Structure 1
Amino acid sequence: MNSAAGRAWVGARLGVLALLWGSTFLWIKLALAALAPVQVTFSRCALGAAVLLVLCLRARHRLPRGRTLWRHIVVAAFFCNALPFAMFSLGERSVSSGLAGVLNATTPLWSVLIGTAVGTERGLPPVRLAGLVLGFAGTVLIFAPWSQTGPVGWGALAILAAAASYAVGFAYMARHLVGRGIPTLSLSAAQLVAAAGLTALTLPAGGLVAVHLPAKALIAVTVLGIFATGITFHLTYRIIADEGATNAATVGYLLPVVSVVLGAIVLGEALNPRIVTGMVVVLVGVGMTRRHKRVPSPAAPEALSRSPLPQPE
């Protein structure tokens, strides 16, 4: 495959991932019309795990083995799947799907903040520090604590908690799971199996009541589980493994756009200028935190000139 075709393929895969991942918030909102938050969370984990297990079977991949590895998978499943999925379902009871996507875009900001706190982000450059401050300033603008009509509440806080949980989960996955010679399909399937098990434990908290699923809600939860959870999660793993975390992270810039557009078109969600301004400020701040200084190597400047974007510090 030539370089132009390769770039086109990477771009297409990122575009599909952005559309699937960005539509998650729409499907959650539609599913919540008939299901409790815990039911939405369990359904998407179980359906996502089921479709990836079928793909593993077709590809003749086995699930990972070993107690230590499975302990890492369970921890990753909690922070990257079970907890944030639950927080999104809880949060979207009072927050629009478009705003949920915007608040989810703070994940890279939490990643930098957590990395600085634990020492993995050392010597934070002024541009990235300014981006961190600017990104959270945009979040404050969206919350509008000075305005009684602002979307301040437990719902928005739950979604911010989900974004922070994603940051912890992605860092844990990168350190303990990715790049260890295990097929990404096996890893993603195992992690969603673990997430389904964790969320099943929460079903007694309002998830065991009988439900009536109208066609719209049934379609929503099916698409949410199979495509927006199972396929999306596997694509994320593949992009991290094939192109690196930096290229995978670029999809985060598109999620708020997809969620806001779908929310406005499908659900008729309104956006005021303050929230739009806050969204732009958050995305600019996120972009600044992804800036990295490239240091040319005197031994191989030609190779560096052809290399992709640098990896996160």
Structure 2
Amino acid sequence: MSTTTGAPTASAATTNTPATTARRTADEHTTAATAAPPASLRTGTGTGTTIPKTTGRARGWPLRFAALSLVWGFSFLFIKVGTQGFAPLQVTLGRVAFGALVLLAIVVMKRDRLPRSPRTWAHLTVAAFFLNALPFSLFAYAELTIPSTLAGICNATSPLWGMALSVVALSEDRPSRRRVAGLGLGFLGVLTVLGAWQGFTGTDLTGTAMALGASLCYAIGWIYVRRTLAGVPHSHLSMSSAQLLLATAQLAVVTPLFTTAPTHYPIIPLLAVFALGALGTGFAFLIQYGLVAEIGPTTAQMVTYFIPVIATAAGVALLHEQLSWNTPVGALIVLAGAALTQSKPRPSTPPLPRPGSPTD
């Protein structure tokens, strides 16, 4: 949310969540994001915007870390509840619209400015499609036929897609043996979640493919952002706001063509869509950006590995979704593989000279 599933953006999800922040917090996956990722919203590619220097760990960061994990973990539950009252595209439109309103309000409060360059807006249009409009819609459609728990686990494959695509798209990003092993381990985890040895019995392959495709979108979007928006001199807040605004415009055009306007607005699904947008796609970005500034991207990226756990717990406890043994086992394998793809070998250090031996 992320994606995230959060809200991966070109400057964080989800579910399963902002792109720049998400990429920098997980790979550096989104968000939107944005911002993926990271499961990662979380493992995307950065935009080149600078990350604030860490000035010391504030005492309250564990609470904000937990809040971000909960918000992005619950995003998949919000999607499921939202689609019980509205069409998937309407859920997605509400999500990005509420998220954009939150960020734009903060832009006004902070007297920040949106980008002015037509070139930046053109690239953000593509980023909004791959990091917000398309993956958010795919997750919403997927959850018509698959549990929110499975959607949350599929979101965690984003780092795997990101590493696989970076081999082709980013010549400077050559994988080590450890990362290749992580890629293989991660997809083995996906097969475990789906129960491949049973012939995928009981699994809706179309819905699962949509959820996996959403995670793939995050990886594509992050790589695009890294290649086109690196070094753009705008704040994360400004870029993310513009991106969500563009995603809202895209969905505002498409949604009326494929859905009919709702005749009534059931309160529970409406509140779910509001929470998904305002919290999971708006405030979540601000929390994540603050965490990156305070504790650094390496620690902040760990939120990625809590998202599928929380999504699974929420789906089982609140939606009474069934959970077979292979789902949590496969999820752990996926997360282990994702962690390997993001790991870097420790720099080798020369052995210490023995006592009495000559030194240079």
Shared topology, TM-score over 0.5? yes
Q: How does 1:60-79 map to 2 (within 5 A)?
A: 60-79=111-130
Instruction: Report deviation, 1:173.
Output: 3.3
Distance 1:12 1:173, change over 3 A: farther
Aligned to 2:71: 20
Aligned to 1:105: 156
Aligned to 1:273: 325
Identity of counterpart residues, as a percentage?
Answer: 37
Return the alpha-carbon distance in structure 2 between the equivalents of residues 178 and 9 of structure 1: 31
Aligned letter for 1:282? V
Aligned letter for 1:61? D
Aligned letter for 1:32? T
Return the alpha-carbon distance in structure 1 between the equivalents of residues 254 and 184 of structure 2: 36
Distance 1:168 1:237, change over 3 A: farther
Aligned letter for 2:265? L
Q: How does 1:1-313 map to 2 (within 5 A)?
A: 6=57, 8-120=59-171, 122-145=173-196, 146-147=198-199, 149-177=201-229, 180-236=232-288, 246-295=298-347
Counterpart contact for 2:93–2:252, Cα < 8 Å: yes
Return the alpha-carbon distance in structure 1 between the equivalents of residues 55 and 174 of structure 2: 36
Secondary structure of 2:258's aligned partner: coil
Return the alpha-carbon distance in structure 2 between the equivalents of residues 153 and 266 of structure 1: 24
Counterpart contact for 2:56–2:294, Cα < 8 Å: no
Instruction: Report deviation, 1:243.
Output: 6.1
Counterpart contact for 1:51–1:226, Cα < 8 Å: yes
**Any unmatched runs of 5+ in structure 1?**
299-313
Return the alpha-carbon distance in structure 2 between the equivalents of residues 130 and 7 of structure 1: 36
Distance 1:239 1:168, change over 3 A: farther
Aligned to 1:305: none
Instruction: Report deviation, 1:200.
Output: 1.4
Distance 1:241 1:184, change over 3 A: farther
Cα RMSD between the aligned structures?
A: 2.4
Secondary structure of 2:269's aligned partner: helix
**Any unmatched runs of 5+ in structure 2?**
1-53, 351-360
Instruction: Report deviation, 1:220.
Output: 0.7
When the two structures are aligned, how many residues end up with a matched partner?
296
Secondary structure of 2:254's aligned partner: coil
Return the alpha-carbon distance in structure 1 between the equivalents of residues 295 and 224 of structure 2: 18
Return the alpha-carbon distance in structure 1 between the equivalents of residues 95 and 288 of structure 2: 16
Secondary structure of 2:255's aligned partner: coil
More displaced 10-residue stretch of structure 1: 79-88 or 4-13? 4-13
More displaced 10-residue stretch of structure 1: 26-35 or 9-18? 9-18
Aligned letter for 1:49? A
Return the alpha-carbon distance in structure 1 between the equivalents of residues 297 and 224 of structure 2: 13
Return the alpha-carbon distance in structure 1 between the equivalents of residues 228 and 192 of structure 2: 36
Identify the structure with bigger relative contact order (alpha carbons < 8 Å, sequence gap 6+). 1
Instruction: Report deviation, 1:212.
Output: 2.0
Return the alpha-carbon distance in structure 1 between the equivalents of residues 146 and 89 of structure 2: 17
Return the alpha-carbon distance in structure 2 between the equivalents of residues 59 and 143 of structure 1: 46
Higher helix proportion (structure 1 or 2): 1
Secondary structure of 1:270's aligned partner: coil
Instruction: Report deviation, 1:165.
Output: 0.8
Aligned letter for 2:233? G
What TM-score, normalized to structure 1? 0.86
Distance 1:282 1:163, change over 3 A: same
Return the alpha-carbon distance in structure 2 between the equivalents of residues 233 and 286 of structure 1: 22
Aligned letter for 2:344? H
